[in-house]
Amino acid sequence: MYRFIMCNMEELPKHIAVIMDGNGRWAEKRGIPKIFGHREGIKTVKMVVKAVNDLGIEALTLYAFSTENWKRSKKEVSALISLFCEYIEKEINELEKEGVRMRVLGDVGLFPKKMTDLLNKAIVRLEKNKRLILNLALNYGGRDEIIRATKRIVKDIKEGRVSVEGINESLFSSYLDTYPISDPDLLIRTSGEMRISNFLLWQMAYTELWITSVLWPDFTKDDLFSALNDYKARKRRFGAR
């Protein structure tokens, strides 16, 4: 059993981002369809959401479906969409009870109406909660987000709401999907892949990275605490010596 080293809230990350990788490999190792890996991964999502909420962490961003995931088989994509809907329907009461707010990052217009309706209803129902902000990155890509933000800035320049001279990092950040949430302090990636996979490209300029070979369905609270203990031991200089 891994022991979590208790620390002050100031030593914990305010915002954790997670690339939940390895569901398919978890299933393949067991000779079962990938959907069973994704379904097992939902259990890990529930555990992590509760754990970080209990710790008082402000925001959790989960990379649930990337813009590149449409390249997967239609059967797998359809199964993932069904799982998203099932998660929202089954967990909305618990999320409300736990004071969790929900936000969506990405362009969800390509998803079926049933899913977008469920997302919108969940966002409205949970919007007055005061604890963890749960960001679900759905049809999300970092490059796509930057392009969409740029288009909105150009539109506002044409309509006189923004000047070219007024563009700076702060203004650009205000057009991103994550606004007004602070950038991630810690990125957790499971399955051992050494890349960020087009995730929060602007926001992760100074994010601390923690990568484990553990597959997402096998990721435990002890693994989470290991990441947090490692994070609190690091010295964040943000470019300063």
Output the pTM of the full model. Answer: 0.94
Average pLDDT in the 47-70 region? 98
With cut-offs at 50, 70 and 90, classify the pLDDT of residue 235.
confident
Give domain limits for the chain. 13-141+183-233
Share of the chain above pLDDT 90, in %: 93
Q: Which residue is catalytic, options 8, 54, 69, 120? A: 69
Architecture in CATH for domain 13-141+183-233: 3-Layer(aba) Sandwich (3.40)
CB 141 within 8 A of CB 130: no
Mean pLDDT score of the chain, rounded to an integer? 95
List pLDDT tens digits, range 197-228. Answer: 999 999 999 999 999 999 999 999 999 999 99
Is position 69 annotated as part of the catalytic site?
yes
List pLDDT tens digits, range 120-168. Answer: 999 999 999 999 999 999 999 999 999 999 999 999 999 999 999 999 9
CA angle 223, 179, 126 (to 5 degrees): 70
User: Is the preceding peptide bond at 180 cis, omega within 30 degrees of 0?
Assistant: yes
List pLDDT tens digits, range 79-132. Answer: 999 999 999 999 999 999 999 999 999 999 999 999 999 999 999 999 999 999
Give the list of residues 6+ apart from residue 106 with CB closer than 8 angstroms, or none.
65, 67, 137, 138, 139, 140, 141, 144, 145, 177
Query: Based on the number of CB atoms within 10 Å of its own CB, is 9 exposed (0-12), middle (13-18) or buried (19 or more)?
Result: exposed
User: What strands lie across the sheet with 15-19, from one edge to the other?
Assistant: 101-105, 133-140, 59-66, 15-19, 186-189, 208-211
pLDDT of residue 11: 87
Closest Cα partner for 16 from 44, 43, 46, 56? 56
Q: Which helix (DSSP H) or strand (DSSP E) does residue 138 occupy?
A: strand 133-140
Is the pLDDT reported for residue 237 higher than 90? no
With cut-offs at 50, 70 and 90, classify the pLDDT of residue 46.
very high
Q: Which residue is catalytic, options 21, 183, 185, 223? A: 21
Average pLDDT in the 35-39 region? 96
Q: Where are the alpha helices (DSSP H) in 159-190?
A: 169-173
